[in-house]
Structure 1
Amino acid sequence: MSKDTNPKEAQIKSAYADVNKYGNNREYDKAIKAVNRILGVAPDDQTALHCKVVCLVQLSKFEEAHKFIEKNRLTSLIFEKSYCEYRLNRQQQALKTIDDGIVQPLPPNLKELRTQILYRLERYEECLDSYKDIIKNTSDEYEDERRTNLSAVAANLAVDKNKDVPDVTEDTYEQYFNSACIQSNRQKYLEAERKLRTSEKLCRDFLEEEGASEEEILEELDVIRVQLAYCLQLQGKVKEASTIYAECLRHKPKDPALVAVASNNAVVINKDQNVFDSKKKIRAAMAEACEPKLTSRQKQVIALNNCLLALFTNASDQVQQLSQKLSQNYPQMEFEALLIRCSQLAKDKKHKEAIDQLQKFAALHKSHEFVTKFAIIQLQLLQGNRKDAIETLLSLGEAKYKPGIVSALVSLYLGTDNKPAASALLKSAVDWYKQNNVSSGDLSDMWRQAAEFHLRGGASETAASSLEELLKLKPNDMKVLAQLVIAYAQFNPKRALEISRKLPKLETLTTASEIDALEAANWVMSTKAAKKSASAKIEPSPSTPLVEKKSKNRKRKGKLPKNYNAEVPPDPERWLPKYERTGFRKKRGGGRTKDVIKGSQGMATGAADQYDMSNRANLSKNSPVTPVYQEPTPGPRQQHRKGGHKKKKGGRF
């Protein structure tokens, strides 16, 4: 048996063979053990050190891999070190590692990693230029992935309307998705919806061809469907969007960013309803795992919605804390945080404290002064302090002549019974617009209100100048022309006569039928009666066919008795009581019959003879000329019998 002259080299060679075998089989745990055997014999072996770093990265042990690189000072492993920092969400540090590296120019792998880091740092313009350069100078099997990433960069750039977005290809479902995101960021939600539905169909078809499971397909489709729900929500289709969010969250997606977006948007739909569900969802959106996956804009919106939810739940202390945190983390949201804080103070009836905070903010931030003063006015009006609200509006300088502000000031002046001040304001507004020739949209409503106000107040000259301005905007408005004639007639009759010639003649305004209807109408009658008579007066033309109106009330046929015979005539005495009929026979022993008078109770016999019309001899000269009125005796069918009719059980009345 030959003796091995160098057992150390043999051990290393055997260990490398194991590393190669385990690496090809993706058994990285076993590969690390084999590398450790090499390092136990040769601790400075650079190849073994590199192999161990690669194995740790493949096992997603990025923190351990980064510490191993730092400990062994592996300065040549720039890509591995920067990739670990990228995966640990240390984007600035990863970019610095690449830029400070000794490798220049950058190889393709470092260039692509640097571009991806720029994307995470939201430096989209630099990222776009870098992707364009990579696509131009590289040709391999990853070209579709690079174009997809390029379209994702373009989608984020589309948030700013002032930035140009390059045209993106639409070959794969990912590219269709990114193209839809561009459209939604440009607020073209209908077009975005169409592209997302196409992306959804392509995604399912592609994954089914690849043999993916239904769970994997749903996981990929949920990303598209949440974006679709967002587009539907902004189109006002809230119920459909809410259903999609709930369905996607029910699938428990693994992507924390997807959970955050769906939860946040569901909270927005809930508003001040279903608060318990909203609290649960906002906690899911603000989970620590979601933060590295979200853009700064998304995190900012979620933080703002968290403050608004606290405001809806009237949690005063929480509102103050969250709004302070919002303004600290996102200085651009300082004004929104202040408004939320002041809204809660107003709810707590602390109007003065809220006004003081707004006034301090307005003094420090001149760019927000205009909007802040309107918030102050709102609080002053909630206090019922109209005078202070008027002073705040007047402090806006020349902005007080804007139509909406003029209207608000006039309303406040009239509310405080200060008509002269309202009139003076309208006059100064008219003069200001004339002197400065400022065109601020459609001012017709303001001129009209000013003219009508001054006409009622007797200031005809000011009213006429307002109507002249209104006539410039609406030259064909006959109502304005008529009002102008009325205004000039009060102080300048000649001018009124000149303008009145522009009015149309009466014959052109009315037709002969309308004049006839007005003349035929009785002015004493009600409006409905006058309309009825006027419409009856107008005759149809000879060519118009006459249509008979059918009566809406249908006559019902009377019910006949069961034994009715049409051939036998009815009994003429059928309505008389039995005792008055001809064939009535008196009972035996009936007693007095002559003196019996049938009629109402209490009637005397003499009175009966007097009013018995069958005996004409009783009508003598002694009869009264005008008989005393007596109520007619009710017939036997109208008199109520004792006991009445008993109601049969289950029968009709």
Structure 2
Amino acid sequence: MSEEAKKNFELLWQEVKSGRHSAVLNLSTTMSTALPDDIELKKTRLVALINLEKYEEALNLMQGYSGFDFEKSYVLYKLQQFNDSLEISRSRNEKPFRLLRAQTYFRLSMNREAVSEYEELLKIDKDNLELKINLSGSYLGPGLYDLTLSHPLFSSSNDWELLFNKACALSELRQYSEALSVLRTTERIISENKDLNDEVWLVKAQIAYVFHSMQDMDKAIEIYDEIMKSKAEPNIKAVVKNNWVIAKNCESKLGIKLLNEALHEDNKLVGLQKLGILQNIGLLCYKKRKVTEAYDMIKNCEAIDENSQRLGFFKTYVLYKEKKHEEYKNYLLAKDKPWAYGLLMKLLLEQNKLQDAEKVFELMTNAKKEALDANDYMEISNLLEKAGMNDKALQTLEEACRNYKNKNLWEKWGNLLRKTDKHEKAIQVFEDYLTKASDSGIIANLVLTAAGIKPEIAQKWSSKLPRVNIKALYNSANSVESLDEIIDKLEFANLQWKTKTEEKIIDEVQKKKRKRKHKPKYPKGFDPKNPNNPKPDPERWLPKSQRKEFKKKGRKKAPKMKGPQGVVLAEAQGQEVGGFNKNPSTAHTVAAGEGKKNKKRRR
């Protein structure tokens, strides 16, 4: 090797140690012209390209060379070509490959595979906090939320990221008050550490999302506005803009503008986030009857992940609204996924196509064993029960309870068994649940079911019920309520009673305020303290016309005229009252104005 080459290698090594990647890239590129086949030089250049995030150039550099499996898999992962990356990393079991594989599973929403991979890695490195955080994030997938809360990783840790992931799981399980409590604790931990001040906006965004899920839009929008005006990271602001548009139900140009801003490349959103925003743009376009633009959004979503469940719901919605029933039916059947069969079943049951729904149900049970969401299982079982397909509903609930330790699912399963007179199976279901968790509502259901068939079991479990009035366990529909429901009702009744009493008190106070005290009015010169001095006038209550003081002095009045108008009294004319008139008769006298009727008028 020449002296000049040695100097270049020494200079290159110094640049590598100092972390000046652009200088490393320039120098290694210059040196590669003289040494085109030097693998180490090529690898140095490759690492520089990766550190400078020039992934396309890095991928071109690796073409035709072997020995760069990890670098190639990593570059493909960064280019979001996750399936190609996974194909390389699956064939290797070294730790770097396993870490990359676990993260790729997570990005592909293959949460169960990611969880198992991280669990194996944690057995090797128990104290690795980054692995714990990645594992907790992998648990935030459908079907894994219940496992998150029971996992020992979340029970004792005070790390803010683990607490944040726990709160996310609680919010997905709709335990909103618990989620808010954990998020407030997380916010307090961050505020105590000055180095974590920028992370507070992530927590605030999740708090706003919880309020949004609770339909408390005013609080959610207030926090969203605060984050959009803050110096939060671009990806957080992008998600918040998307949520703000939904919370405000903004269907104007402003809504589409904000969603397009959220999709900007600088925001560095993950695939699921991009899919959500594209879906919302498509929905807004469709509501404005811009159908072609909605289909364009579907194509953009398919370019990111054509197998996404979220995309499937979006595309099915558009096809259903366009009444293209055969198209969405074929689309969902081609997916061969439980969620697709479940969605198709819902649509068919809503249209009362029971035979078609039954065929889809058989396909769903024979599909690959991937769990539906607990809420989907509940909804499908309710629809099947409503359609009178009780056996299918029971089969759905049985499969659901294999995957979830969800109290509502187990209670629904047991109650439906009771309803269909399968009491022994219902007893077994309730007892199986109670071996895993204790719940007074399930115990009460078990006692009620076993009372008529197996009294010894009812007696055994009744001792474990809390001391409450048994009559209070029944509502008007003769169904058993849980203790929590009873307590909630009692608290609600007590609250109503308090509010009514408070309202009564307020009304009484207001009535007293309304009654103004007027001083009584007394006659002039009257002293209420000495009422008989002077003595009151005895005629004070009589009308003035009847009092002596106001009576008119007696005087003769002219006689009142009675009879028809113009008649004069007989006494006034000197006639006898009741006699005939003695004056000459006027019967034949011509009245004034009478003359010849045919007299001509003057012209």
Instruction: State the TM-score, normalizing by the size of structure 2.
Output: 0.54
The CA deviation at 1:83 is: 2.0
**2:159 maps to which residue?**
172
* 8 A Cα contact 2:139 2:147, kept in partner: no
**1:126 maps to which residue?**
113
Distance (Å, rounded) in 2 between the aligned partners of 1:369 and 1:12 = 71
Query: 5 Å matches for 1:536-555?
Result: none
* 8 A Cα contact 1:264 1:282, kept in partner: yes
**1:28 maps to which residue?**
21
The CA deviation at 1:191 is: 1.9
Helix, strand or coil for the counterpart of 2:233? Answer: coil
Query: 5 Å matches for 1:346-385?
Result: 354=323, 357-358=324-325, 368=344, 371-372=347-348, 374-375=350-351
Distance (Å, rounded) in 1 between the aligned partners of 2:207 and 2:21 = 40
* 8 A Cα contact 1:85 1:94, kept in partner: yes
- Equivalent in 115, 137, 158 of residue 124 of structure 2: 137
The CA deviation at 1:324 is: 9.0
**1:146 maps to which residue?**
131
Distance (Å, rounded) in 1 between the aligned partners of 2:10 and 2:300 = 57
Alignment deviations for residues 285-338 of structure 1 (CA, whole Å, 9 cap, x no partner): 45566685133xx55554554454345546566567767988995686667655
Matched, 1:55 2:22: no
- Cα RMSD of the aligned pairs, angstroms, is 4.9
Distance (Å, rounded) in 1 between the aligned partners of 2:137 and 2:228 = 24
**1:241 maps to which residue?**
220
* 8 A Cα contact 1:176 1:196, kept in partner: yes
Distance (Å, rounded) in 1 between the aligned partners of 2:326 and 2:61 = 56
Query: 5 Å matches for 1:607-618?
Result: none
- Equivalent in 252, 259, 266 of residue 244 of structure 2: 266
**1:87 maps to which residue?**
78
Matched, 1:278 2:278: no
Distance (Å, rounded) in 2 between the aligned partners of 1:359 and 1:61 = 45
- Equivalent in 230, 239, 257 of residue 251 of structure 1: 230
* 8 A Cα contact 1:326 1:337, kept in partner: no
* 8 A Cα contact 1:319 1:341, kept in partner: no
Helix, strand or coil for the counterpart of 2:141? Answer: helix
**1:228 maps to which residue?**
207
Identity %: 21
The CA deviation at 1:10 is: 1.6
The CA deviation at 1:147 is: 1.3
Helix, strand or coil for the counterpart of 1:155? Answer: coil
Q: 1:330 to 1:266 in 2, by over 3 A?
A: farther
Distance (Å, rounded) in 2 between the aligned partners of 1:185 and 1:42 = 57
Alignment deviations for residues 177-198 of structure 1 (CA, whole Å, 9 cap, x no partner): 1222222233322222222222
Matched, 1:13 2:6: yes
The CA deviation at 1:111 is: 3.0
Q: 1:563 to 1:318 in 2, by over 3 A?
A: farther
* 8 A Cα contact 1:177 1:199, kept in partner: yes
Distance (Å, rounded) in 2 between the aligned partners of 1:177 and 1:553 = 59
Alignment deviations for residues 10-53 of structure 1 (CA, whole Å, 9 cap, x no partner): 21222222222222322222233333453344333333222222
Structure 2, gaps ≥5 residues long: 334-340, 354-382, 391-417, 424-451, 453-470, 478-511, 563-603
Helix, strand or coil for the counterpart of 2:259? Answer: helix
2:260 alignment partner AA: R
The CA deviation at 1:153 is: 1.2
Query: 5 Å matches for 1:360-509?
Result: 368=344, 371-372=347-348, 374-375=350-351, 438=420
* 8 A Cα contact 2:349 2:387, kept in partner: no
* 8 A Cα contact 2:186 2:203, kept in partner: yes
Higher RCO, 1 vs 2 (CA within 8 Å, ≥6 residues apart): 2
The CA deviation at 1:63 is: 2.1
Distance (Å, rounded) in 1 between the aligned partners of 2:261 and 2:422 = 47
Distance (Å, rounded) in 1 between the aligned partners of 2:99 and 2:172 = 26
* 8 A Cα contact 1:89 1:292, kept in partner: no
Q: 1:314 to 1:66 in 2, by over 3 A?
A: closer
Distance (Å, rounded) in 1 between the aligned partners of 2:300 and 2:16 = 49
1:186 alignment partner AA: L
**2:521 maps to which residue?**
559
Distance (Å, rounded) in 2 between the aligned partners of 1:336 and 1:47 = 49
- Equivalent in 152, 156, 159 of residue 141 of structure 2: 156
Q: 1:60 to 1:373 in 2, by over 3 A?
A: closer
The CA deviation at 1:234 is: 2.1
Distance (Å, rounded) in 2 between the aligned partners of 1:314 and 1:572 = 92
**1:384 maps to which residue?**
none
1:281 alignment partner AA: L
2:28 alignment partner AA: V
**2:505 maps to which residue?**
none
564-573 or 89-98: bigger deviation: 564-573
Q: 1:155 to 1:293 in 2, by over 3 A?
A: same
Alignment deviations for residues 522-568 of structure 1 (CA, whole Å, 9 cap, x no partner): xxxxxxxxxxxxxxxxxxxxxxxxxxxx9x98884443578777855
**2:197 maps to which residue?**
217
Alignment deviations for residues 505-538 of structure 1 (CA, whole Å, 9 cap, x no partner): xxxxxxxxxxxxxxxxxxxxxxxxxxxxxxxxxx
2:197 alignment partner AA: I
Alignment deviations for residues 472-529 of structure 1 (CA, whole Å, 9 cap, x no partner): 9xx9x9x99xxxxxxxxxxxxxxxxxxxxxxxxxxxxxxxxxxxxxxxxxxxxxxxxx
* 8 A Cα contact 2:544 2:550, kept in partner: no
2:239 alignment partner AA: V
The CA deviation at 1:173 is: 0.8
Alignment deviations for residues 238-280 of structure 1 (CA, whole Å, 9 cap, x no partner): 3212222222222264343x34432332233223x56444333
**1:543 maps to which residue?**
none
Distance (Å, rounded) in 2 between the aligned partners of 1:338 and 1:42 = 57
The CA deviation at 1:149 is: 1.0
1:21 alignment partner AA: Q
Alignment deviations for residues 217-252 of structure 1 (CA, whole Å, 9 cap, x no partner): 23x222222222222222333321222222222226
The CA deviation at 1:373 is: 6.0
* 8 A Cα contact 2:286 2:294, kept in partner: yes
1:269 alignment partner AA: A
Helix, strand or coil for the counterpart of 1:278? Answer: helix
How many residues were matched structurally? 401
Query: 5 Å matches for 1:508-527?
Result: none
